[in-house]
Amino acid sequence: MSMTRRLFGGTALAAMTLSAGMATAQDDPLRIALVVKALGIGFFEAAAEGAEQAAEELGNVEIIYTGPTDTTAEGQIEVINALIAQQVDAIAVSANDTDALVPALKKAMQRGITVISWDSGVAPEGRELHLNPSSNPLIGNMIIKLAADHLPDGGEVAVLSASATATNQNTWIAEMEKVLGDYPGIEVVATVYGDDLADKSYREAQGLMQAHPDLAAIIAPTSVGIVAAAQAVEDAGKIGEVNVTGLGLPSEMAGAIASGASKSFAIWNPIDLGYSATMLAYQLATDQAEAAPGAEIDMGRMGTLTLDDNTEGAMADPFVYDASNIDQFKDIF
Amino acid sequence: MSAALRSREALLVAVIALLLAVIASRFPGFVAPSNLSAVLYDTAPLILLALGQTAVILTRCIDLSVAANLALTGMLCAMLNAAAPGVPVVAILVLAAGMGAVLGAINGILVWKLTIPPIVVTLGTMTVYRGLIFVVSDGAWVNAHEMSAAFTGFPRQAVLGLPVLSWIALAAAALALVAIVRTPLGRALYAVGGNPSAAVYAGIDVGRTQFLAFVLSGTLAGLTGYLWVARYAVAYVDIAAGFELEVVAACVIGGISIAGGAGTVVGTLLGALFLGIVKNALPVVGVSPFWQLAISGAAIVVAVAFNARAQRRRGRIILRRAEAGS
């Protein structure tokens, strides 16, 4: 019963969009929805900018930038259901939960919508491919390298993470520990959790400096944590003694680079990420490529994405920002 | 009754002293004066909000919107500073307190004139205020390099050895101490919470008193909003997320009865300091983050158990007095 209603509803909607399409243009634009973890996060705003760049390059592509107002899976499911009702052509999602979105995304794929995940992935049955901004080993290596580069004689470093249950943080830290042997003299003395709250991260950073007076670097692979740690180092008068590094956004870290609390940090370029996700969604939605293990899919200016056995691929190395290029990027994202 | 409350505060002082001793045995640097000053600095926002919350809880209400109020005011101050760096800090302070008062007054009006339960009102306005931050900021952050040096420098500026933020918290506590004992409003807060019917017969407007308590709480939250943003040199939608529960916890640990009408400003102050010390000590003594939550939660439960006992005792004393009087 409800199925018939839905079908009729769908037909009516299709008829409406068809007539609207005829009124304005010959071809309906290909509509690609960029679903983010939450609206209003600089990183995702920048990704949306990249998506627009891709749309411009491709022509006849409309980007729908959307997401919930807080980072919940429930909110994203609502957004996805709304997009299914609008019959978009493709959904590219950065998921708040690996599994919770699968039923909604499966439904979308059954309706012929191309579904890919990017940044934060969805379980394989809920998407056609997943675009990692970088690979976990590359990031793990990068964050320790950033600290080690400024410590030629070695020293004590500590990790300031987000929450103790954040999957991506834990994976990066685990990968970092694997390559620790490549950086002789570098010792990781503690891992603490700031829960992505400015005040808690600040307090944890203060605690690190007190508990480990010889601390030479704080690695924070989270954008809230790195800013708070830099502020804590500055307030403690330890600029030059403790270097704050990790993953952060240029706009948020510009002050810390200027004060010297942070010598360098890294992040993948979210503009490139949004651009690549859009390119991939376009390739799949127009059947120019198929997501299968081993497939190589074109990402325009970002080269090609090679899929592994889980139909996942890595876009590029994290990009390093320091005093030499921060001014160029701080107004972008 | 006052003996019971005094013992409550004495108990808290003893617990805090014991806590400091235990921490010092594991990490001696924690009790150095410079570090204790840092702990006070870190706890100052909690003290400010807890003082406002005390007034509200005394009148049998609760204000869950304080953290959202803080975040909204803080964001507006930060945006104002980013757009017009020339505006003096004094003007921003006045504006922040004023904004906070207006946001608090909205709560107060809804509780007073529409007699909606305060928990529902402030749960609603909490969400509204958080949403508004998103609307005004478009979700964008205001970062350290966009703020002026005077703006971020004010709370951390040292005066007589303590940062301004600490002084503001101490001044607010001193004012509250005097106001709650020496002003009609201070006494009305207890009367309204202790027995609303009796308060009406005594000529106290219950709704108006609750309204004023909300305005007070809002003003302090607004003021803290600027100080918070300046202190951490960053403003974004989620600042102080969940902080309202910490504020209520500080009051409860300090012996403010959730049922209204009982508790002291000194208790609140000690409750906030207790939480502040726990929060600052756990990272340095190297307790697992999972235990940190459990320890804070356990402290609250123990405090509530003590509150319940304190209230039973109060009942008995009143009866005894009545008997003696007859």
B61-96 pLDDT per residue, tens? 999 999 999 999 999 999 999 999 989 999 999 999
The answer to whether the complex's ipTM is over 0.90 is: no
Q: B150-174 pLDDT, tens per residue?
A: 999 999 888 988 999 999 999 999 9
Which of A199, A207, A254 lies closest to B232 in CB terms?
A199
Identity of the residue numbered B219: T
User: Do both A6 and A120 map to the same domain?
Assistant: yes
- Asked whether the beta carbons of residue A255 and residue B140 sit closer than 8 angstroms, the reply is no
- Asked whether the beta carbons of residue A45 and residue B156 sit closer than 8 angstroms, the reply is no
pLDDT of residue A6: 44
Summary mean pLDDT of chain A = 87
Picking from A155-159, B142-146, B163-167, which range would have the lowest pLDDT averaged per residue?
A: B142-146
Q: B182-222 pLDDT, tens per residue?
A: 999 999 999 999 999 999 999 999 999 999 999 999 999 99
Interface of B with A in 263-282 (CB under 8 A): 279-280, 282
Percent of chain B with pLDDT over 90: 60
Query: With 50 as the cut, is the pLDDT of residue A11 above it?
Result: no
- Asked whether the beta carbons of residue B143 and residue A203 sit closer than 8 angstroms, the reply is no
Query: With 70 as the cut, is the pLDDT of residue A286 above it?
Result: yes
Neighbours of A182 (CB within 10 A): 11
pLDDT of residue B324: 53
User: Do both A185 and A301 map to the same domain?
Assistant: no
Q: Pairing state of beta strands A312-314 and A304-306?
A: unpaired
Q: C-alpha distances in angstroms, A303 versus A276, A293, A294, B224?
A: 9, 18, 15, 50
User: Do both A82 and A199 map to the same domain?
Assistant: no
User: Do both A18 and A119 map to the same domain?
Assistant: yes
Which of B27, B138, B240 lies closest to A40 in CB terms?
B138
pLDDT of residue B210: 95
User: Do both A261 and A288 map to the same domain?
Assistant: no
In the block, tokens 């005011």 appear at: B73
pLDDT of residue B286: 73
Structure tokens belonging to residue B206: 């219950």
Residue A34 DSSP SS3:
strand
Q: C-alpha distances in angstroms, B69 versus A60, A211, B45, B116, B133?
A: 44, 34, 13, 19, 9
Picking from A8-12, A159-163, A308-312, B183-187, which range would have the lowest pLDDT averaged per residue?
A: A8-12
Identity of the residue numbered A92: A
Q: Phi/psi of residue A295, each to 5°?
A: -70, 150
Which of A164, A228, A330 lies closest to B232 in CB terms?
A228
Which chain B residues have a beta carbon less than 8 Å from that of A193?
Answer: 289
Which of A45, A210, A256 lies closest to B29 in CB terms?
A210
User: Do both A127 and A166 map to the same domain?
Assistant: no
User: Do both A154 and A251 map to the same domain?
Assistant: yes
Q: C-alpha distances in angstroms, B228 versus A203, A281, B75, B113, B279?
A: 14, 42, 10, 32, 17
Residue A123, burial from CB neighbour count under 10 angstroms (0-12, 13-18, 19+): middle
Which of A193, A235, A254 lies closest to B143 in CB terms?
A254
**Beta pairing partners, A161:** A193
CATH of the domain at A184: 3.40.50.2300
Query: With 50 as the cut, is the pLDDT of residue A333 above it?
Result: yes
Q: Does B85 touch chain A (CB under 8 A)?
A: no
Q: How confident is the model at residue A258 (pLDDT cuts 50, 70, 90)?
A: very high
Which residues from A are below 8 Å from B when comparing CB atoms? 38-42, 45, 69, 164, 190, 192-193, 196-200, 202-204, 206-208, 210-211, 224, 227-228, 231, 235, 251-252, 254-256, 258, 330
Summary mean pLDDT of chain B = 88
pLDDT of residue B322: 53
How many Å lie between the alpha carbon of A198 and the closest alpha carbon of chain B? 7
CA dist A245 and A219 (Å) reads 5
**Mean of pLDDT values over B28-43:** 90
Q: What residues does each domain of chain B span?
A: 2-325
Residue A221 DSSP SS3:
coil
Structure tokens belonging to residue B183: 């002003």
pLDDT of residue B320: 54
Residue A181 CA to chain centroid, in angstroms?
28
Find out whether A154 and A309 touch, Cβ atoms under 8 Å: no
User: Do both A178 and A298 map to the same domain?
Assistant: no
Q: B231-256 pLDDT, tens per residue?
A: 998 898 888 888 998 999 999 988 88
User: Do both A29 and A125 map to the same domain?
Assistant: yes
Find the domain containing A19 and state its range.
2-133+270-316
| pTM assigned to the model | 0.75
Which chain A residues have a beta carbon less than 8 Å from that of B27?
Answer: 210-211
pLDDT of residue A14: 45
- Asked whether the beta carbons of residue B289 and residue A40 sit closer than 8 angstroms, the reply is no
